[in-house]
Structure 1
Amino acid sequence: MLGTAPGADVGLRRILVTGFDPFGGAPVNPSWAAVQALDGLQMEGHRVVAARLPTQFDSCLRVLDELITAHRPALVLCTGQAGGRAAVSLERVAINIDDARIPDNAGAQPIDTPVRAGGPAAYFSTLPIKAMLAALLAGGFRAEVSQTAGTFVCNHVFYGLMHRLATDPACAGMRGGFVHVPWLPEQGHPSMTLEQLVSGLELALRCALRTGSDIRLQAGSLG
């Protein structure tokens, strides 16, 4: 699903926000449910374009690349489901490895395979994740900085996004990152309601647009 046509609302820059389709037999993916609700929202002189990525190693980055080329967004925020996490997780680092515990939606299950052969071991998010964390906590949301986006399709997309932004001259100045969201209540616990996820992502996006340089804030972990 490629979101709104790039010609709509001429004069407003785009923010590209993506979620995934359901996987692993689940009937819903909270990442797509949340970002879909943000589609068309205007903030800080920008317009949100929401799009759904396939939970497939072989096609998710192709779809993402097409979206970036079509919309030339100022900012890209990809989101995914992290069942078992209790908070909105602002991902710090993407690693150059696929190591799938379960098959993706096309049946692929790569093991110890680089996302991009010859690429660097890792990329850091270029979003102001500490400022976003502070904004979410001040807004009453459960939030955290996460040190791992896993080794499934979420990390695959995160790494692929950051590699594109780092190596494509056409993406100069474009910022990007990844956020994991908890289950919805009907999926199990811990969870957050759809309203909480939508409001939290909107708050995080507004903060990212307003913040040029990130703040210093303790958000590390011991394990």
Structure 2
Amino acid sequence: MSRAPRIVVAGYGRWIKAERNPAAQIAELLKTESVAGCELTSVVIPVSSVELPDHVCSILREERPDYWLGLGVNTAGTVIQPEMIGINWRHFSVADVDGAQPECRPIFSGGPDAYNSGLPNREIVQALCTEGIPAQVSFHAGTHLCNQMLYSVNHLSRTLDMPIRSGFIHVPQTPENVADAEDEERTCGSMSLAMMAQAIRIAIGVICDGFTPSTSKAA
């Protein structure tokens, strides 16, 4: 009998652009749920460029997942956006929680220029739109921590000889966060937390539908 897929959902925590980060809120909700029959581990990760590699390595070694699904907020976003590519650059327009604001610096010196997402992003978007949740694939995850997670998980899993399938999804702000924002930021889009959480449940379901034990070498 085939085993259930092991999936890590990693949502970013608070930072200057989102004290109540919807990515963290979704991750917290999923901690108490059973989704699509998978073995789900849901974690909140600090928005720290320096600490991210250690967090990723620790989670990979402990959980040995088949899939990694990162979550972050796009403060200018209006739809659910599965990211297709992570690039080997950090260029922060806003500092992280440690005050770090690197400019034009690689994530890993000597690393590949980019990694493609290993998740079925096109199928995820189709499933979301079918359920009335606006979504669109994105080919640029930015150059902040969201891109750093997408790139780092791909790179570190290979370094650890764990060729898992990993990817990242951007979510919009919640209406509550937009309402609390400064005047000039209240025109950005938003989506209810309930709809965003449902979108991630659907995404996990699509991921699980494509799983076979041979998909990953994770043991």
Asked whether the two chains share a fold, i.e. TM above 0.5, the reply is yes
In structure 1, runs of 5+ residues without a counterpart are 1-10, 214-223
Structure 1 residue 124, shift from structure 2 partner: 0.3
Question: Hey, what does 1:56 align to over in structure 2?
Answer: 48
TM-score by length of 2: 0.87
* Whole-angstrom CA distance in 2 between matches of 1:95 and 1:111: 14
Deviating beyond 4 angstroms after TM superposition, the runs of 4 or more aligned structure 1 residues are none
2:5/2:211 contact within 8 Å kept: no
SS at match of 1:146: coil
Among 65, 75, 96, the alignment partner of 2:67 is 75
2:17/2:75 contact within 8 Å kept: no
Structure 1 residue 25, shift from structure 2 partner: 5.5
**Is 1:195 aligned to residue 213 of structure 2?**
no
In structure 2, runs of 5+ residues without a counterpart are 179-187, 213-219
The letter for the 2-side match of 1:178 is: F
Question: Hey, what does 1:211 align to over in structure 2?
Answer: 210
Structure 1 residue 44, shift from structure 2 partner: 4.3
Work out the number of aligned pairs and report it. Answer: 201
* Whole-angstrom CA distance in 1 between matches of 2:31 and 2:81: 21
* Whole-angstrom CA distance in 1 between matches of 2:4 and 2:59: 16
Question: Hey, what does 2:33 align to over in structure 1?
Answer: 41
Among 9, 21, 44, the alignment partner of 2:13 is 21
1:19/1:52 contact within 8 Å kept: yes
Greater displacement, 188-197 / 158-167? 158-167
Give percent identity, aligned residues only.
28
Structure 1 residue 41, shift from structure 2 partner: 3.0
Question: Hey, what does 1:65 align to over in structure 2?
Answer: 57
RMSD: 1.7
For 1:17-166, list aligned pairs within 5 A.
17-24=9-16, 26-166=18-158
